[in-house]
Amino acid sequence: MAYIGQGIKQGTFKVLDTSGNTYNGSNTTFSLGTQVGSAAQLLVSHDGVIQLPGTDYTLASGGASITFSTAPASGASIFITEISGAVGGTVTPSDTSVTADKLNSALLTGHTDIGGAIADADLFLTDDGAGGTLRKTAASRLKTYVGAGAGAFDIANLNIDGGTDIGADIADSDLFIIDDGAGGTNRKTAASRIKSYVGGSKLVFIANQEGTNSVGDVSFNDCFSATYKTYFITFQLQNDRDGNNIQFRFQKEDDTTFNSDYKYALHTINHSGTENNFVAASGGEVVLTGGTEGGNSGYFGVCNGFMYVHRPFTYDSDLNPCFFNIFSQEVDTGGNFKSIHGGGFLNQTSNNVAGIRFRPGANYMTNRNVTVYGLEQS
């Protein structure tokens, strides 16, 4: 029908349930039972008098509560209506109240990955830095800004080139960038701190010998010291013929060998299940290969394995001599296989054990690859 005056505007009116609020003449803030974007979205009646937004009341708790400038008296009649839509003003949603479902998915879906490489024409949202205004900008502009311009984030302008490997082992003084986990702040920390945090033990390379020419022995002079309590040795050794065993002796600080007082017990089992033991109460060396059981053709000189050497340089009593543990496998030219494990010690306390010498029972040693590590404890 016809009317006189300003046109009627469309909107949605919702009476809020505030029955749980108690008015006592002292409290000023009350729950709305919902969340609104601005005080102008509320029509508030206080004992029949319409209240003025921003003067008689304001919003609190992110739009979830209303605060009156004057505390309503006991028994006051408060009637609150939420207004949304085109009612003559701009409605401002409260922070974080707009969900993805309320956005126009034709403009911004936000639910899926771009699904391809970023193109120059792709658009990003950016704050222009002047007054918090969001504007759009093309990816090409970002690329230009991040590029080689003065003051930009050109990798050459940073104190890290990132283009080459460090070119050496990591040292304790090398620095890493780390997020401190508190507020996303990147800080620097030394490699030594990471090493302490990771903890545990690690192998420190000391020496290696490898080759295929014939040699009489493989000696490591002064590979042991007081630096480490335990050493780890890997070995791959081969004699020049079947019929020879492979053995080792420890060395003194003058590079001569200990030729007696080795006590050890080794257990062997071959591929047929035949077992045997090798023991010595005062041997002149420690044999790493040997045995004829199961069709093996006498002593044969091919073995691969590893061993631990404990406290070689720091003996202090008869209870702390130089101990060793051996784990190895051997095979002969006939394809016979054997596994060996066991241990023993050098029964002397008058000299430091400074090195180790691997040698054939006779003739020469050909293929060889032996590495000595110190076991660093932390």
Q: DSSP secondary structure string, 60-123?
A: EGGGTEEEESSPPPTT--EEEEEEESSSSS---PPTT---GGGS-TTT---SS---S---TT-E
Between 199 and 44, the higher pLDDT residue: 44
Same domain, yes or no: 211 and 305: yes
Same domain, yes or no: 141 and 230: no
DSSP state of 7: P
Instruction: Name the CA dihedral angle for 66, 69, 75, 81, rounded to a multiple of 10 degrees.
Output: -40
Same domain, yes or no: 283 and 183: no
Q: Is 360 helix (H, G, I), strand (E, B) or coil?
A: strand
Q: Is residue 24 part of a domain?
A: yes
- Give the HSE-up count for residue 325: Cα atoms under 13 Å, Cβ half-sphere: 7
Q: Is residue 258 part of a domain?
A: yes
| Residue 114 C-alpha from the chain's centroid | 29
Same domain, yes or no: 191 and 210: no
Same domain, yes or no: 227 and 350: yes
Q: pLDDT tens for residues 138-169?
A: 888 877 776 645 455 544 445 555 556 777 88
Q: Is residue 117 part of a domain?
A: no
Same domain, yes or no: 277 and 294: yes
Same domain, yes or no: 137 and 240: no
Q: Is residue 308 part of a domain?
A: yes
Q: How far is CA 313 from CA 227, 240, 308, in A?
A: 9, 33, 14
Both tokens assigned to 240: 């020049």
Q: Is residue 105 part of a domain?
A: no
Q: How far is CA 115 from CA 93, 120, 121, 351, in A?
A: 31, 15, 15, 71
pLDDT for residue 209: 95
Same domain, yes or no: 281 and 145: no
| Alpha-helix residue ranges (DSSP H) falling in the chain | 139-146, 191-198
Same domain, yes or no: 228 and 191: no
Q: Let me know: does 291 contact 276? Beta carbons within 8 Å.
A: yes
Q: pLDDT tens for residues 5-19?
A: 555 455 577 888 887
Q: Which residues contact 329 (CB under 8 A, 6 or more apart)?
A: 303, 304, 305, 337, 338, 339, 340
Q: Is residue 101 part of a domain?
A: no
pTM of the model: 0.50
Bridge partners (DSSP) of residue 283 are 262
Of 131-135, 180-184, 195-199, 301-305, the poorest mean pLDDT is in 180-184
Both tokens assigned to 187: 């800080």
The number of folded domains in the chain is 4
In this prediction, residues 275-281 reach a mean pLDDT of: 88
- Residue 152: how many CB atoms within 10 A of its CB? 11
Between 367 and 110, the higher pLDDT residue: 367
- Residue 258: how many CB atoms within 10 A of its CB? 19
Provide the residue range defining the domain that includes 192. Answer: 165-198
d(CA 29, CA 72): 10
In terms of Cα–Cα distance, which of 69, 66, 2, 54 is closest to 29?
66
Match 């993805």 to its residue by tokens.
100
Of 128-142, 264-278, 320-334, the poorest mean pLDDT is in 128-142
pLDDT for residue 355: 95
Same domain, yes or no: 340 and 366: yes
Q: Is 246 helix (H, G, I), strand (E, B) or coil?
A: strand
d(CA 369, CA 367): 7
What phi and psi, each to the nearest 5 degrees, are found at residue 334? -85, 0
Q: Is residue 89 part of a domain?
A: no
Same domain, yes or no: 218 and 310: yes
Match 């007696």 to its residue by tokens.
260
- Residue 78: how many CB atoms within 10 A of its CB? 17
Answer yes or no: is pLDDT of 293 > 50. no
Same domain, yes or no: 246 and 313: yes
pLDDT for residue 296: 42
For the chain, give percent helix, strand, coil, nearest 5.
Answer: 10, 40, 55
